[in-house]
Chains A and B, each alone.
Chain A
Amino acid sequence: MSRKRLIAGLLTIIAVIALGAVYFGFSRKENTMEQIRTQSTNIPPIDASAPVHTEAATFAMG
């Protein structure tokens, strides 16, 4: 009887951990997707279309 209880208890704990992992895993993925969506829609168009070939110039102007 006590062995059955022990097994049942262990199975319950494993189920809770597994369900928690699935739940939090999905929520994290949703947050990440939300962040990506937010970032991609917020980036100013002028930044999104920056040219590939650029050059640098450096000055000191007093």
Chain B
Amino acid sequence: MIRTQVGYAGGTKDNPTYHSLGDHSETIQIVYDPTRISYEELLDIFWSTHNPTVRPWSRQYASFVFYHDETQRELALKTKAQQETRRGTIFTEIVPAGTFYPAEAYHQKYRLQQSSLMQEFTEIYPNHDDFVASTATARVNGYLGGAGTCEQLREELDGLGLTAAGQDKLRQTVCSNR
């Protein structure tokens, strides 16, 4: 995974915001290296990390796969059919990716923004767009949110751009809980 960004998609309203979402849904856009992880693997994570068998109670929190090409569409439909065989009715809609509207700055890398490690990344990336586009911020945010293992962190810790103190803090947070 190279970078992540949260935002709004799937609706018709121009320039939605969190407080004026229109008919859009809360969405995550992932840019990934296909030589490191496949779209099928991303779909596996998608199906296993939320419950698509529950009818969404609002458009804001609906379940969607927004496909970017025909291969993604076919894989999404195939895996949805597999999920239905296993779990029953799946309410996930599979639709073409349209305009993705990035969410407001305070929603991006939310866990990281709540952490004292944020100070270090503010110095590295004073520009918000650079901060959002960073692989390091995406990965640190993921670790702080509970993803990844202590072992994975140890392998890439030196590449995240943190000071020795920042590394210690992240290591303690991740490795004491997992």
* Min CB–CB distance B72 → chain A (angstroms): 7
CA of A46 to CA of B125, assembled, Å: 14
CA of A58 to CA of B39, assembled, Å: 11
Do residues A45 and B161 form an inter-chain contact, with CB atoms below 8 A?
yes
Q: How many residues of B contact A (CB 8 A)?
A: 45
How would you classify the secondary structure of chain A's contact residues: helix, strand, loop or mixed?
mixed
Partner among B29, B51, B139 whose Cβ is within 8 Å of the Cβ of A56? B29
Q: How many residues of A contact B (CB 8 A)?
A: 19
Do residues A61 and B28 form an inter-chain contact, with CB atoms below 8 A?
yes
In the complex, residue of chain A having the shortest beta-carbon distance to the beta carbon of B66: A58
Residue interface mask B68-80, A partner, CB < 8 A = 1: 1000100000000
B105 within 8 Å of A by Cβ?
Answer: no
Do residues B39 and A55 form an inter-chain contact, with CB atoms below 8 A?
yes
* Min CB–CB distance A27 → chain B (angstroms): 21
B49 within 8 Å of A by Cβ?
Answer: yes
Q: Which residues of A contact B46 (CB under 8 A)?
A: 59, 61
Interface residues of A in 27-42 (CB under 8 A from B): 42
Q: Which residues of B contact A56 (CB under 8 A)?
A: 29-32, 68, 97
Partner among B52, B54, B159 whose Cβ is within 8 Å of the Cβ of A46? B159
B64 within 8 Å of A by Cβ?
Answer: yes
Q: Which residues of A contact B32 (CB under 8 A)?
A: 54-57
Known: A47-B136, A62-B52. A57 touches B160 (CB 8 A): no
CA of A51 to CA of B64, assembled, Å: 27
CA of A53 to CA of B2, assembled, Å: 10
Cβ-closest 8 pairs across A and B: A44-B161, A44-B136, A58-B66, A60-B64, A46-B159, A61-B50, A60-B25, A45-B159
